[in-house]
Structure 1
């Protein structure tokens, strides 16, 4: 198949699901519509009215559940004269929001993104990362710690998605660091975090024993798969923003396995297993948070750098440091709040002293905040909140539609593959 031929080229590929027909004589059209009784029949009626014969019909559901279900209908027919084709196209565009035509003369060139598990094997290997960490921190100056960290990172980097995550034999000192920071954070999150987060944290504690030892990512992977279909990809350290977000589009969370320096358990200048497991995992175990994460991930795939940076900023203000109202109080749901003693203490001022908040809160608006700068190495000066988590999801969906990418993407949960709604070429330049 053409797909397999193009995938053999590392820096160039064409993505479009073609059937085994003589493609020179065929035309493809794809229609995305609501899945309702008679939806396919109404589409076929348009072709019948214009006396156009179909060669192939393929349908695929886009959602995992029946709620708000959409389908993509791919139709193939023999090429016809322009007048007849334009009439058909006009008819379809009047009836449906998304009608996509395969046009060889206008194939867009977009940044490379992983389409399937095979492509995900390149995560952490092909894109340059510019780290901006505090090099004066003990975990950068302690040679013994660096040696141990690199030993764990090497094991993590060898992990391929779909294979068991490497097992790490944590040292006694590492276990002590985990217990110390976890006991402090566990007390803080009760006052700061939303019930959505806390419910999932209790379930994970009971299932995997968070309180008593550093959990193995292999066990976390199995747990998340059962809860929301999210999977774990062990990684050696900080990834490029594009790689991290693109992986979320496949419901894959790239996760470190090393732990922060024992001398400063309350703070780490880069993500570690405390941040990943205490912050992110309880959220990925929630169906709606998992869906929101994947929504941002899919939007990031194939998008240009400017919009990618904006999506990264929105991820920061929601899944890292987002908050929402709960019983009249602002509660956190972001991983950066849950896994940081400093963030918990600042956020908690709003809980304790409603009239004198140290932390500032702003109503989340992706069209405004997508271009807002934010500090990485210090406690957040401003937190974005929504009236509900569902509102955050809707805001991001609306924002995503404004990005105007030259093609659409949907995730096939059966084949575990991102599929394009039209043919595109991909490149690895300026990643």
Structure 2
């Protein structure tokens, strides 16, 4: 956890710890929140088959008509380049996925019997076992409350630890998040006078710096959200209003969460263009410091960027790549997230501008990272700047208690997205996945069996 180091580093609090907790899973049952659907089974079961055909005109057509004959719906057909066997005879391999409740069904047995004389090889491929991941937006209810710590659980050095009123308020907001169900409107929070005053103090400190050092995409979105989402010095915007605006712009949505999630669970939300967001605010006694993500970080730092299409696509690329991925690859993706969505820089007219929320919500580090003068952010030191490269960022360690010594700089948000997409395509994954926004579901290109798991409750410091 991050501590206040000095007056120079106030507000450079732990801006985001969610993706950097343990991603290790243990076997167990994933429980749903009260009232949430218990969708623990996949959509229509599918079977994968490998077919090897002789190279001759109409060979594939002859085979496919038997899928129609036995009423088996094909969902994927993928070919492999022609090869020659030991006798020099040309062969084609095809991978076919089709819907069927069982590989032992009468239909499948009849299909195999019919294909026996038409193919040189016809075999059923077993399902791939993968780490559990949500297949439908409703299944985010199954992971939203698997918090590594809850919003009401404060450590002894937290500014609000001895304030029972503040602790009760945190518990109240945690309950709101825990009871939220995916297809409901996000409850509106009646923020108190102290909470609005705290928000205003952060607003006043950040406003001028954002105008100077934020990327143009952020500034454009921020101005629009002042008009459409109620952003102002005197008003804390509501997550539902932000969601309504973002869904019209890029398809993103906010979702309340009570505390920190594991890397795997948090990134899974991004695959559905969903951002897990806290609803509480830092303690009013120290408005320019927070030891955890709060609404100043979420709503000032993150939310405006999700209104930009390139940034929204970039974020979803990371989320989709995390689905079913190994623990090692989830960590690489989480570290890419840290060095981009949290602390990313881009170039504009020869200057460095921030697009990462950890910078956009921290007055000290925003100045330190972007200003060409010194002292900046209360220090004479300068960070090292590296070109944005996910392969490097994914293994680049970082501190969580000081300013970042290294920042990755993208040529543009489109450049950041393109390089992230290429990196994700190169990861070893057991399947390809796509998000269908019309059904709020995840399509995968082959049958998988999701192993249900519960993440260990370790914080990043313990697992690093």
TM-score (norm. length: structure 2): 0.73
Tell me which of 103, 109, 125 is aligned to 2:145: 125
Structure 1 residue 214 displacement after superposition: 0.6
Cα deviation 1:161-186 (Å, max 9, x = unaligned): 22111111111011111111112111
Check whether the contact 1:249–1:295 (CA below 8 A) recurs between aligned residues.
Answer: yes
Supply the distance in 2 between the matched residues of 1:103 and 1:128 (Cα, whole angstroms): 41
Unaligned runs of 5+ in 1: 1-8, 30-43, 61-71, 90-101
Residue aligning to 2:336: 314
- Measure the CA separation in 2 of the matches of 1:103 and 1:377: 52
Distance 1:236 1:430 in 2: 17
Supply the distance in 1 between the matched residues of 2:437 and 2:50 (Cα, whole angstroms): 23
Match for residue 138 of structure 1 among 159, 182, 207: 159
Q: How many Å separate the matches in 2 of 1:308 and 1:210?
A: 34
Tell me what 1:169 maps to: 190
Q: SS of the residue aligned with 2:336?
A: helix
Which residue of the partner structure matches residue 400 of structure 1?
424
SS at match of 1:350: coil
Q: 1:51, 1:113 → 2: CA distance? A: 34
Evaluate the alpha carbon distance shift between residue 360 and residue 229 of structure 1 in structure 2; reply closer, same or farther with a 3 A threshold. same
**CA offset at residue 141 of structure 1?**
4.2
Paired position in structure 1 for 2:372:
350
CA contact (8 A) 1:129 1:240 kept: no
Please state if 1:251 is matched with 2:273. Answer: yes
Deviations 1:245-284 (A, max 9, x none): 0011011111111111112222212110111110111111
Instruction: Say whether 1:47 aligns with 2:55.
Output: no
Unpaired runs of 5+ in structure 2?
Answer: 1-28, 32-38, 52-56, 78-94, 100-107, 456-464
Q: How far apart are 1:14 and its partner, in Å?
A: 6.2
Deviation at 1:322, TM superposition (A): 0.5
Q: 1:175 to 1:427 in 2, by over 3 A?
A: same
Q: Is the 8 A contact 2:134 2:268 kept in 1?
A: yes
Instruction: Give the whole-Å Cα distance in 1 for the aligned partners of 2:374 and 2:124.
Output: 60
Between the aligned partners of 2:156 and 2:272, the Cα distance in structure 1 is 33
2:353 counterpart residue number: 331
Following TM superposition, by how much is the alpha carbon of 1:407 offset from its aligned partner in structure 2, in angstroms?
Answer: 1.1
1:342 deviates by: 1.8
CA deviation after TM superposition for structure 1 residue 219, in Å: 1.1
Residue 210 in 1 paired to residue 231 in 2?
yes
Cα distance change on mapping 1:225 and 1:51 into 2, 3 Å: closer
Residue 143 of structure 1 and its aligned partner are, at CA, apart by 3.1
CA contact under 8 A between 2:30 and 2:143: conserved in structure 1?
A: no
**What's 1:84 paired with?**
119
Deviation at 1:369, TM superposition (A): 1.9
8 Å CA contact retained: 1:15, 1:423: no
User: In the alignment, what sits opposite 2:133?
Assistant: 113
- For residues 350 and 17 of structure 1, what CA distance do their matches in structure 2 show? 57
Which residue in the other structure is 2:415 paired with? 391
Larger radius of gyration: 2
Quick one: structure 1 residues 343 and 278, their matched pair in 2 at CA, closer, same or farther if it must change by over 3 Å? same
User: RMSD across aligned C-alpha pairs, in angstroms?
Assistant: 3.2
CA shift at 1:124, angstroms?
2.8
Counterparts of 2:150 and 2:235 in 1: how far apart (Å)?
A: 32
State how far apart, in whole Å, the 1-side matches of 2:117 and 2:322 are. 35
